[in-house]
Amino acid sequence: MILEKTAFTEDSVENMISGESTFKVNIQNDIYNTLDLYPSALLNGIKTTLIYPATEKHIAKYTAQDMHLITETAQDYESITLPYLNREQFNIQWVFNILEKKTESERIVFEDSNPETGFILLPDMKWNTKQMEDLYLIAIIHKHGIKSLRDLTPEHLPLLRNILNKGLSAILDKYHVPASKLRVYLHYQPSYYHLHVHFTHLRFNAPGSGVDRAHLLSDVIDNIELMPDYYQRKTLSFSSKENEKLSVAFSEAGRI
């Protein structure tokens, strides 16, 4: 069970500072006062995710633990990461459920159904869709078999440009947030190996938007245009939890 406190909304703040909340004063100094405010329970919900039954991998994913930075050369990808991916055979049935509209179809914001360049755009689980300050959507591509950044070559440029252009225009249409307010990026390593793209509001310090994990989609397109085999040659650094299996594999190979 994962508990997350959510961002304030304009409505809830108005109600919180009205007469119905109780409070306790902690410090008073000149014009500065600190208090604890206790709004009514319904104004102050906690976003909860229940994964049941949870696997060891789920537990590792959410356990607070030390991170380290891993430097993956092209050679490391071939000799460590790829064998790890083949060995683990992750279950991504939930992704196919979304693409086949068996689940969450009512949450779809936009779809381009082209099998080569199409995708489904929907709000990330972390976003309650109520306020724009922490806007977070995910584009999941229809095409199967593109695991991550490492697989991308010039043949995927139409797909990547399509996600960038149509994703941004769908968000403008539906939420009135322009492209200049959005950060559009891929994760490396991703949390699941079916290509997907993150759209978050620039004002939102989204988890995973740091330089140690995020790659702007516009940079990805530009890099492939500059050098067709960029993502097959580039050394990529990423942060990883110490007890994750991929970390262990790098550690066993003497690469940490």
Catalytic residues: 196
Q: Which is nearer to a copy of itself, 5 or 87 (CB)?
A: 5
What is the DSSP annotation of 124-179? -TT--SS-GGG-EEEEEESSS---SGGG--GGGHHHHHHHHHHHHHHHHHHH---G
Stretch that binds a copy of itself, among 50-58, 113-121, 135-143, 150-158 (CB under 8 A): 50-58
Please give the backbone phi and psi of residue 167, each rounded to the nearest 5 degrees, phi first. Answer: -60, -50
- 76 has binding-site annotation: no
The answer to whether 165 contacts a copy of itself (rule: CB under 8 A) is: no
Q: How far, CA to CA in Å, does 109 sit from each of 124, 200, 232?
A: 11, 15, 33
If one asks whether residue 41 binds a copy of itself (CB under 8 A), the answer comes out as yes
163: alpha, beta or left? (left if phi > 0; alpha if psi -120 to 50): alpha
190 near a copy of itself, rule: CB under 8 A: no
**Rule CB under 8 A: which of 110-139 touch a copy of itself?**
125
In the bound complex, what is the minimum distance in angstroms from residue 65's beta carbon to a copy of itself? 9
Give the separation between CA 100 and CA 116, rounded to whole angstroms: 15
Contact residue for a copy of itself among 61, 147, 181, 245 (CB under 8 A): 181
Decide if residue 101 touches a copy of itself (CB under 8 A). Answer: no
In one-letter notation, the amino acid at residue 250 is: F
Task: With residue 97 as reference, give the H or E element that holds it.
Answer: helix 93-99
The one among 14, 18, 49, 191 contacting a copy of itself by CB under 8 A: 49
Which of residues 67, 157, 172, 177 is near a copy of itself by CB under 8 A?
67
Q: Is 187 annotated as a binding residue?
A: yes
Q: Which of 56, 87, 69, 77 is nearest to 253 (CA)?
A: 77
**Taking CB under 8 A as the rule, does residue 199 contact a copy of itself?**
no
Q: Which residue has the tokens 């891993």?
A: 70
Least distance to a copy of itself from the beta carbon of 174, Å? Answer: 19
Q: Which residue, 114 or 205, has its beta carbon nearer to a copy of itself?
A: 205
Annotated binding site for substrate: 94, 104, 124, 126, 187-198
